[in-house]
């Protein structure tokens, strides 16, 4: 089942505490705290929702419009749900959705079909990792500057340890242009797999 793996959005309020945004985020992560953090991306101030020494959500504000909130990996669904419940308008600047499988040989078959699709449709192709030995491979379709990018990688090798080596992840990374951000704010995770040329690419792998 598709789920968020990165969720970053600018909430259209000026102060995260006075607006009640921090309280909404604290409710999303029980037993968490609000603490100072580094300001990023030209914002004047930074804060974080944290539990112990783990950052659950990074927050920046001041000097630019709105309050930018970012959560990654397993914390992303909680941020998406919290912003929806908060109810104030927000404009996503990056959302990633992923699907996982565990199957021997799956990466090879999916990668071959996606590479063929990219060649046929003149999409940028970037291959990282050890494609000779078949280890720690990542396939990128679409330019890194494109609003939509499809990524296939061997998640098991990335995780290391006892993670199954046949663990494969397919990820859609969407950086919506300004005019599309309000619409993306209404998306469920699966909607990212319908962005731009992605549905046609998925047909090639039997989706």
Across 98-107, 115-124, 146-155, 157-166, least confident range: 157-166
My answer on whether 196 and 131 are in the same domain is yes
What is the reported pLDDT for 168?
A: 98
pLDDT tens-digit readout, 144-200:
999 999 999 999 999 999 999 999 999 999 999 999 999 999 999 999 999 999 999
Q: Which domain holds residue 185?
A: 97-204
My answer on whether 142 and 67 are in the same domain is no
pLDDT band with cut points at 50, 70 and 90 for residue 207: confident
My answer on whether 151 and 72 are in the same domain is no
Using the 3D structure, point to which of 58, 88, 118 is the last residue of a domain: 88
What is the reported pLDDT for 92?
A: 99
CATH number, residue 64:
3.30.160
pLDDT band with cut points at 50, 70 and 90 for residue 138: very high
130 has a pLDDT exceeding 90: yes
5 has a pLDDT exceeding 90: yes
pLDDT band with cut points at 50, 70 and 90 for residue 102: very high
Using the 3D structure, point to which of 69, 88, 107 is the last residue of a domain: 88
Using the 3D structure, point to which of 38, 62, 88 is the last residue of a domain: 88
My answer on whether 83 and 101 are in the same domain is no
Phi, psi angle pair for 176, to nearest 5°: -65, 140
My answer on whether 44 and 113 are in the same domain is no
Total number of domains in the chain: 2
My answer on whether 56 and 121 are in the same domain is no
pLDDT band with cut points at 50, 70 and 90 for residue 118: very high
SS3 string of the chain?
CCEEEEEEEEECCCCCCCCCHHHHHHHHCCCCEEEECCCCCCCCEEEEEEECCEEEEEEEECCCCCEEEEEEHHHHHHHHHHHHHHCCCEEEEEEEEEEEEECCCHHHHHHHHHHHHHHHCCCCEEEEEECCCCEEEEEEECCCCCCEEEEEEEHHHHHCCCCCCCEEEEEEEECCCHHHHHHHCCCCHHHHHHCCCHHHHHHHCCC
pLDDT tens-digit readout, 30-80:
999 999 999 999 999 999 999 999 999 999 999 999 999 999 999 999 999
CATH number, residue 164:
3.30.310
What is the reported pLDDT for 30?
A: 97
Q: List all residues 6 or more positions away from 50 whose beta carbon is below 8 Å from its beta carbon.
A: 32, 33, 35, 56
């Amino acid at each position: 089942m598709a789920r968020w793996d990165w969720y970053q959005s600018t909430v259209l309020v000026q102060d995260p505490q006075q607006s009640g945004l921090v309280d909404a985020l604290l409710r999303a992560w029980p037993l968490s705290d609000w603490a100072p953090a580094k300001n990023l991306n030209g914002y004047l101030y930074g804060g974080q929702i944290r539990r112990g020494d783990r950052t659950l959500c990074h927050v920046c504000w001041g000097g630019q419009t709105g309050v930018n909130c970012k959560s990654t990996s397993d914390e992303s669904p909680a941020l998406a749900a919290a912003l929806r419940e908060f109810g104030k308008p927000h404009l996503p600047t990056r959302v990633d959705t992923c699907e996982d499988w565990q199957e021997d040989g799956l990466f090879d078959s999916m990668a071959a079909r996606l590479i063929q699709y990219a060649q046929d449709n003149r999409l940028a192709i970037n291959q990282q990792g050890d494609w000779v030995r078949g280890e720690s491979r990542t396939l990128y379709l679409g330019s890194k500057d494109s609003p939509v990018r499809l990524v296939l990688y061997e998640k098991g090798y990335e995780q290391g340890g006892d993670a199954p080596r046949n663990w494969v992840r397919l990820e859609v990374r969407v950086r919506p242009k300004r005019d599309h951000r309000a619409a993306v704010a209404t998306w469920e995770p699966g909607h990212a797999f319908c962005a731009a040329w992605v549905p046609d690419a998925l047909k090639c792998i039997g989706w």
